Amino acid sequence: MKIAILAAMQKELELLLSLLDSPAEMEYEGVSLHKGTLGTHEVYIAKCGIGKVNSALAAYKVIKTVEPDLVINSGVAGGAGVPIGTLLIADRVAYCDVWCGPGTEYGEADGYPLFMSPSSRFLDLARRVAKDGNTRFGLICSGDKFISSADEIAFIRSHFPEVDAVDMESASIAQTCISCGVPFGIVRVVSDTPGEGENIEQYTNFWNDAPMRTFSAVHTIIESL
């Protein structure tokens, strides 16, 4: 199987690169692709950049270049009542900053479902291999803003009561994959809790512990495919 993994930031990318055997770097239209193997799979890892536009553009370029059988988005997310360090595997993703006007649902991108669902095969496999009590399956909401306050979480929750975490890329990568007809999966680890203490400091300090759980989970899932 050919698999593409996208991470928003360089520090996330560097953690992911340790998963690859025999890595080699290539570039296409400004996107650096790190090609290697993981088990029997051909894997490409790329930094997509922060935010919806950056991640959608990078995802599209990677899909058109690599033609993967599966796209995995991996990295960190802010928790919405979910403890720091929780491994969160999205069973749905949605936008938390989109409204296309009267007659449309808040969060729904034009022409796409409100809740965009990852590959059922990916989710079934993740449920089989993620057996510890610190793994959660739930809703991730994405928007073009770093969420840092309880009021912002409360606003998002007013539209999405079941939200478990927030980020800036999952929904746009999901939309791109749906548009291109490519299955996808989202694996995030909660790095901070907006509204509980200094979440910007939590987010900064979190990287001192190198969040290997999310990348270890990606490794396990891919090896099981």
Token pair of 140 as six digits: 């991730």
In this structure, are residues 91 and 117 in contact, taking their beta carbons and an 8 Å threshold?
yes
Q: Which residue among the candidates 12, 91, 152, 164 is catalytic per the annotation?
A: 12
Q: Residue 167 catalytic?
A: no
Q: Residue 164 catalytic?
A: no
d(CA 187, CA 134): 13
d(CA 78, CA 119): 23
Q: Which residue among the candidates 97, 192, 196, 198 is catalytic per the annotation?
A: 192
Catalytic residue set: 12, 192
